[in-house]
Amino acid sequence: MFLKLLELFATFFKIGIFTFGGGYAMIPLITEEVLNKGWMSKDQLIDFIAIAESTPGAFAVNISTFIGYNQQNILGALFATVGVALPSFIIIIIIAKIFHHFSENKYVIGFLNGAKPIIVGVIFSVGLDFILSSVFGIKEINLIKNIIINWKTIFIFVFVFSLTRIKERIHPIYIVTISGILGYILFGIL
């Protein structure tokens, strides 16, 4: 069990180091680690992301606590969460102590000029991957010929997507609630 706790800590520490640009930038890293390590299925991970988006606090802390708890109960939650927070904690203290002009350093600027667009591409890719999986039942990109055309999932996608285009500043918790209600009506009642 101790080894598993260490693995949780190390995995989330690594994720913490490479998360630039807030919560959503973390999703590609988490998805890859969790699926490669076989901790849970893609659907289950998306469920966890939904709950982490709809509860108070920082998404990064929420999702790490959730996955850690799922793997190793309360100790797992603590190891994962401390792991994800520690890189920022250490880096910020170093900056606060000695490196005040950090954001104006030319290497830092160059680093971010390159890292930020590539992260945007990576997030697009994961978003598309999740849509292929949740709307069309395509679990892996090379299985794209196994596409399932289901009017219910397509309806939910079109409805919720249009909603977010009409009202851009709509809170994630409403999106999660509305799509959950639609899912329940279309799959459970109809």
Task: Please report, as residue ranges, which positions from 111 to 130 form the binding site for other proteins (by CB under 8 A).
Answer: 111-130
Pattern of binders to other proteins over 144-183, x per CB under 8 A?
Answer: ---------x--xx--xx--x------xxx-xx-xxxxxx
Contact 71, 39 (CB under 8 A): yes
Site for other proteins in 68-107 (CB under 8 A): 69-70, 74, 77-78, 81, 84-85, 87-89, 91-93, 95-97, 102-103, 106-107
Query: Which candidate, 122, 94, 115, places its Cα nearest to that of 29?
Result: 122
Nearest approach in angstroms of CB 115 to other proteins is: 4
Pick from 12, 34, 65, 79 the residue near other proteins by CB under 8 A.
65
Site for other proteins in 1-30 (CB under 8 A): 14, 16-25, 27-29
AA letter at 151: W
Cα–chain center distance at 108: 25
Q: Confirm or reject binding of residue 184 to other proteins (CB under 8 A).
A: yes
Nearest approach in angstroms of CB 3 to other proteins is: 22
10 Å CB burial of residue 56 (0-12, 13-18, 19+) is exposed
Phi-psi region of 21 (alpha: psi -120 to 50; beta: other; left: phi over 0): left
Based on CB atoms, which residue is closest to other proteins, 6 or 92?
Answer: 92
Residue that the structure tokens 């807030």 belong to: 22
Pick from 5, 8, 34, 60 the residue near other proteins by CB under 8 A.
60
Distance, in Å, from the CA atom of 146 to the CA atom of 144, rounded to the nearest integer, reads 5
Based on CB atoms, which residue is closest to other proteins, 4 or 43?
Answer: 43
Count of CA atoms in the C-beta half-sphere (13 A) of 74: 0
10 Å CB burial of residue 23 (0-12, 13-18, 19+) is middle
Based on CB atoms, which residue is closest to other proteins, 6 or 58?
Answer: 58
Based on CB atoms, which residue is closest to other proteins, 6 or 41?
Answer: 41
